[in-house]
Amino acid sequence: MPQKKSLTPQQAKQILATLKSRFEKNLHRHKGLKWPAIEAKLEAAPEKLWTLNELEKTGGEPDVVALDKSTGEYVLFDCSAESPKGRRSFCYDRAAWQSRKEAKPKNNAIDAAAALGADILTEAQYRDLQQLEPIDTKTSSWIATPARIRQLGGAPRAVTHLPGDKARIDGACPHDARQRR
């Protein structure tokens, strides 16, 4: 049976309160944006609230990072400083997971993101997030991989070893997933 992708009124109220608090504590992430307009959009999109709640439940910290002027939609990224514990030690995708003979991870990043109703960040989005604040100084995150690279068996992950470093994009390795909604 498919999982119901909506929240109870109490759950919706709680995730909105969490998001508002995070928004107010991190104004540098969303200069020029106002919470009431964001809240109204989120209240009108219960499936997006469900996704944000799921990201939160896995240890993520979803927050607004921009307004896409072409669509009028707010862009939210998982802004946790390190890849969330609930999304670590994943292969990149199902093909990588199925090819593992030993020490098989519990899941893969692409399927996990889809189950949450989210997408994995692109390299450009990851670099934009890194411009806002230090991320992944102790962990690494899978980033979206073009099909032509996957056909060669690769999948990059992004990592920052020292605060102030720019993200380094490495080759395939079974790590975790940072999502956006």
Note the pLDDT tens digit of each residue in 40-58: 999 999 999 999 999 999 9
Whole-number pLDDT of residue 2: 55
Q: What is the mean pLDDT of residues 161-179?
A: 46
Query: Any idea where the domains of the chain sit in the sequence?
Result: 9-78, 85-180
- Give 175's pLDDT tier (boundaries 50, 70, 90): very low
The pTM for the full model equals 0.83
Residue ranges with strand state E in the chain = 62-68, 73-78, 119-120, 140-142, 157-159, 168-170, 176-177, 179-180
